[in-house]
Chains A and B, each alone.
Chain A
Amino acid sequence: MFDFKVVTNWIDTLLLSFLPGWAATLVECVLVALAIITLYAVFAIILIYMERKICAFFQCRLGPNRVGKWGSIQVLADVLKMLTKEIIDMKNVDRLLHKMAPFLVIVASMLTFACLPWNKGAEVLDFNIGIFFFLAAGSIGVVGILLAGWSSNNKYALIGAMRSGAQIISYEVSIGLVMLTMIVLTGTMSFSEICQQQADLGWNIFRGHIPAVLCFIIYLIAGNAECNRGPFDMPEAESELTAGYHVEYSGMHFGFYYLAEYLNLFICAGIASTIFLGGWAPFHIPGLDGFNHVMDYIPGAVWMLGKTFFVVFLLMWIRWTFPRLRIDQLLALEWKYLMPMSLVLLVLMAICVSLGLTF
């Protein structure tokens, strides 16, 4: 496999050759930040386009097909529109919190985005408590949503925010437990090590067999709920609360929520593919060396993106098939089904690992 460290090391040595250490680090930080922001925007555009097309195909429609070939620059045009729109100042809102909320959401989303391992050696934020950091950073988002609902001084927004608070906090329990289960299997919290391990030993979903597959399903459900996407889009629930917590936002402030929603979907799918589907690790079948060798030629980033978009497609398929749950059913699903099940799976996984029943 190609190790991306070659590139980063080369840049590092290049910079150090004419800059002092601190300046080199600074330049590198800026470069990485720029790369992340660009990627963030690009993926948002791809995802929005993908969603609009896929949803249309599920609904016997063609989707956007006017702007550009197959509507390919439709989203760019939308982004342009969003950027030029006026940000309307509302009367009687808590101005500071109202303006701050979208930034909190986008910051949380970007922090978690930075956790994704793109390729071997191409992790932006990677340390020994990676998963822990991911969960912590992801939780900032809910603060943004709650603030938005509270500061908007709107009853719909407030109800939406309260729903969102209840929903995200509940589902974080499941996500935490599922992650814990997988940590039991991998024995590490660092994303790079998790990926490396899967490249060496096989994907976690195969290694951990039954408990891992069930964990994967629970993670998809809970992750979907974390992103506030249908059928768990209660906080927005456009047919009940019109737009929920972001009903009073306009222009790019609304755009931030919109962006964050899609990127959270991508991040959720990305983490699923990292933890369960091997991240950048290629698909190997033990014994078939020729096949495995061919698989190794496909770059890790392609593997990572392929798996992630596959999971994204699964989530979109779910979203465009099911009706929305009601808030009490949503909580019942978490506390009565998912949470107990993930607890059982945690124990099961611990037993499997301690008895050496994993592959």
Chain B
Amino acid sequence: MSNNNYFSGLFFGIKSLLIGLGVTMKEFFTRKITEQYPENRKELKMFDRFRGRLIMPHNENNEHKCIGCGLCQMACPNGSIKVTTEMLEAEDGKKKRSLVKYEYDLGCCMFCELCITACPQGAIEFCTDFENAVFDRAKLVQQLNKPGSKVAEKKPVAKPVAPAAAKPVTEAKPVAPAAAEPATEAKPAAPAAAKPAAPAESAEAPVEKKESNPETPAAV
């Protein structure tokens, strides 16, 4: 190393160090970017596509769209979904599959969205909740269908699956309107979905009727 290199290297080094010190000193006085969670819980809004945990949306009549076909269960790579169904006889004597229990293990889920793409009914979706921590693993296994909930009947146009259940809709008309009509303001889709509710309960699951009936007027 020549003398020239020794000194130029020294000065280059000192200069580079001073530039670095300048950068950090500038940052010392700039605004900090830390987010103050949980204080900012109120303003903190997740992006609407964020996959927090699987939910099964229920309408105000405690109805969901799951027909218990089990496609989501088959699509799941991890086996984190367990669908329990039972065959119920409808009024017209046709057998119909109905959902009993939709179990979802958040601890196993890898949020790949395959269940949602597999679902023909759009019955499940991801919500944006992210505070999912619990103290016990067993609590991660969640039942997504609410107790006493029913499958919402499709509008007559909807699907070939529906007809069996669609019939009661016409028969039920005189019964339902009182409960269903006020709901129109709340949600445009509600009346169509709400109408079949009452007859479906009476026809298919008399046991659960007691629970869900008081809820229906309350929701309205």
> Which residues does A use to contact B, with CB under 8 Å?
56-62, 317-318, 320-322, 337
B30-38, B121-129, B155-163 - interface stretch: B30-38
Q: Are A321 and B24 in contact (CB under 8 A)?
A: yes
CB of A321 within 8 A of CB of B34, answer no
Find the residue from B17, B23, B25, B34 having the highest chain A CB count within 10 A: B34
Name the B residues within 8 Å of A60 (CB-CB). Answer: 27, 30, 32-34
| Closest-CB distance, B11 to chain A (whole angstroms) | 12
For this complex, 27 residue pairs linking A to B, each with C-beta atoms less than 8 Å apart, are A56-B32, A57-B27, A57-B28, A58-B24, A58-B27, A58-B28, A59-B27, A60-B27, A60-B30, A60-B32, A60-B33, A61-B32, A61-B33, A61-B34, A62-B32, A62-B34, A62-B36, A317-B21, A317-B24, A318-B21, A320-B24, A321-B21, A321-B23, A321-B24, A322-B17, A322-B20, A337-B10
Shortest Cβ distance from residue A53 to the other chain B in the assembled complex, whole angstroms = 11
| CB-CB contacts below 8 Å: B69-87 with A | none
Contact B21 A57 (CB under 8 A): no
- A317–B25 Cα distance when bound, in Å, is 8
With A and B bound together, what is the CA distance between A355 and B36 in angstroms? 62
Chain B residues whose C-beta falls within 8 Å of the C-beta of A317 in the assembled complex: 21, 24-25
Bound-state CA distance A337–B20 (Å) is: 21
Q: Which of B20, B23, B32, B36 has the most CB of A within 10 A?
A: B32
What's the nearest-Cβ distance from chain B to residue A43, in Å?
23
Q: How distant is the Cα of A321 from the Cα of B34 in the complex, in angstroms? A: 20
Task: Work out how many contacts link A and B, with CB atoms closer than 8 A.
Answer: 32
| B residues less than 8 Å from A62 (CB atoms) | 32, 34, 36
Q: Which residues of A contact B21 (CB under 8 A)?
A: 317-318, 321
Q: What chain A residues lie within 8 Å of B10 (beta carbons)?
A: 337
Q: CA A262 – CA B10 in complex, angstroms?
A: 30
Distance in angstroms between the alpha carbons of A62 and B36 in the assembled complex:
9
Instruction: Please report B residues at the A interface, Cβ cutoff 8 Å.
Output: 10, 17, 20-21, 23-25, 27-28, 30, 32-34, 36
B136 to A: closest C-beta gap in Å: 26
Most buried by B among A60, A317, A318: A60
Give the residue name and chain of the B residue nearest to A62 (CB): B34
Pick the most buried of B10, B20, B28: most chain A CB atoms within 10 A of its CB: B28
A341 to chain B: closest residue by CB: B10
In the complex, what residues of A have CB within 8 A of residue B34's CB?
60-62
Which residues of the partner chain A approach B28 to less than 8 Å between Cβ atoms?
57-58
Q: How far is the CB of B30 from chain A (nearest CB, A)?
A: 7
Task: Please tell me if the beta carbons of A321 and B30 are within 8 angstroms of each other in the complex.
Answer: no
Chain A residue at minimum C-beta to C-beta distance from B19: A321
Q: Measured between alpha carbons, how far is A320 from B36 in the docked complex, in Å? A: 23
Are A321 and B20 touching (Cβ within 8 A)? yes
The 3 closest A-B pairs by CB, nearest first: A62-B34, A321-B24, A58-B24
Contacts of A59 in B (CB 8 A): 27
User: For the complex, what is the distance from the CA of A49 to the CA of B196, rounded to whole Å?
Assistant: 66
What CA separation (Å) do A322 and B21 show in the bound complex? Answer: 8
- State the Cβ distance, A68 to closest chain B Cβ, in Å: 15
Residues of A within 8 A of B32 (CB): 56-57, 60-62
User: In chain B, what residue has the closest Cβ to A217?
Assistant: B14
Q: How far is the CB of B37 from the nearest CB of chain A, in Å? A: 11
Q: How far is B28's CA from A318's CA once the two chains are assembled, in angstroms?
A: 13
Distance in Å from the Cβ of A349 to the closest Cβ of chain B?
21
Which among A318, A320, A321 has the highest number of chain B CB atoms within 10 Å? A321
What are the residues of chain B within 8 A of A321 when measuring CB–CB? 17, 20-21, 23-24
Residues of B within 8 Å of A322, CB to CB, are 17, 20
Please, which residues of chain B bring their CB within 8 A of the CB of A320? Answer: 24
Q: Which residues of B are found within 8 Å of A56, using beta-carbon distances? A: 32
Which A residues touch B20, using CB under 8 A?
A: 321-322
In the docked arrangement, what's the CA distance between A303 and B28, Å?
25
Which residues of A lie under 8 Å from residue B24 when comparing CB positions? 58, 317, 320-321
Query: In whole Å, how far is A214's beta carbon from the nearest beta carbon of chain B?
Result: 12
Q: How far is the CB of A37 from chain B (nearest CB, A)?
A: 34
A196, chain B: closest CB distance, angstroms: 34
When distances are taken between beta carbons in the complex, the residues of chain B under 8 Å from A58 are 24, 27-28
Give the CA-CA distance A62 to B32 in the complex, in Å. Answer: 7
Whose C-beta in chain A lies nearest to the C-beta of B20?
Answer: A321
Taken together as a complex, chains A and B put the C-alpha atoms of A320 and B21 apart, in Å, by 9
- Nearest CB of chain B from residue A142's CB, rounded to whole Å: 27
CA–CA, A321 and B27, complex, Å: 11
Task: Kindly state the separation between the CA atoms of A322 and B23 in the bound complex, as whole angstroms.
Answer: 11
Report Cα–Cα, A60/B36, bound state, in Å: 13
